[in-house]
Amino acid sequence: MAATEAVRVPALLYGTAWKKEKTRELVRQALLAGFRGIDTAAQPKHYREDLVGQGIADAVRETGIKRGDVYIQTKYTSVNGQDRSNMPYDATSSITDQVRASVASSLRHFAPTVEDPEQAYIDCLVLHSPLPTQSQTLEAWQTMESFVPEHVRTIGVSNVYHLPVLSALHDFASIKPTVVQNRFYRDTGYDKDIRAFCEEKGMTYQSFWTLTANPDLLRSQPVQHIAACVGVTIPVALYGLVLSLGNTSIMDGTTNVEHMNADLNGVQAVQSWLRANDEKAAEVQKVFAALLE
């Protein structure tokens, strides 16, 4: 696969943070419910990446799902985000060696998802956050680039809330980021400038903490209106409106199988309603967009 070839990012990705020993079964259930995107990280402090790989392998064995049907996204997490007693690399090694060891660990965890372990790959490798210095960030990025396209299809960045930092990384990159994964909430102005930059550069903006961080949006008139018109839950209505901003995907970390199905089906229902009701949809989306100003 060429480094520039597009990799489709699903609208909803199943988020696996803080699932601990339940990770394997929840990932299996998510895939059986219809999720086709899985988000994890090589960060044992908050993720069980090994169980993510096993959960995907379980679903592949049990159903007609193929590895190529599933978008797997993981992350290189710097020392500052790790539990130093349980890390995928030596904390004293160079940034380059840390990234290499982290990716090697991830590929081992995803080996069960393919028949030939040597053919394991990552659909998107994400820099979990910019490092303390620009030079460290750029060193990590260059090392991530070295895995594309053989073992890594695309690369991205997370937790970058200052547009100049993202812009500088984008300018520097030989292989441009394809995704930006950020917390979507009021304190950062809902990333208005960063979302616009993503739109301009063809990057997908990935929203996390979409529900937990936004009780006001959940109570808002546009969300309530969509829920009533479409017949979906309030959280699903918010998901649908965030997705309608364009060029966006959402982390969904529910542990309830019924909610998995309701979220997937409900988001499709909201999108269908928005397409079928142009004038009403435009007004609702206008009011919703104003709440994000």
What pLDDT, in 10s, does the model give residues 27-75? 999 999 999 999 999 999 999 999 999 999 999 999 989 999 999 999 9
Does residue 1 register a pLDDT over 50?
no
Does residue 113 register a pLDDT over 80?
yes
What pLDDT, in 10s, does the model give residues 173-201? 999 999 999 999 999 999 999 999 999 99
Residue 106's pLDDT is 98
What pLDDT, in 10s, does the model give residues 258-272? 999 999 999 999 999
Instruction: Work out the percent of the chain whose per-residue pLDDT is above 90.
Output: 97
For domain 12-210+246-253, the CATH superfamily is: NADP-dependent oxidoreductase domain (3.20.20.100)
Does residue 216 register a pLDDT over 80?
yes
State the helix-helix crossing angle for 49-62 and 23-33, rounded to 10 degrees.
40
**What single-letter amino acid sits at 223?**
V
Q: Domain residue spans in the chain?
A: 12-210+246-253
Considering the chain, what is the average pLDDT of its residues? 96
Asked if 131 and 78 count as a contact pair (C-beta separation under 8 A), the reply is: yes
What pLDDT, in 10s, does the model give residues 219-261? 999 999 999 999 999 999 999 999 999 999 999 999 999 999 9
Residue 6's pLDDT is 67
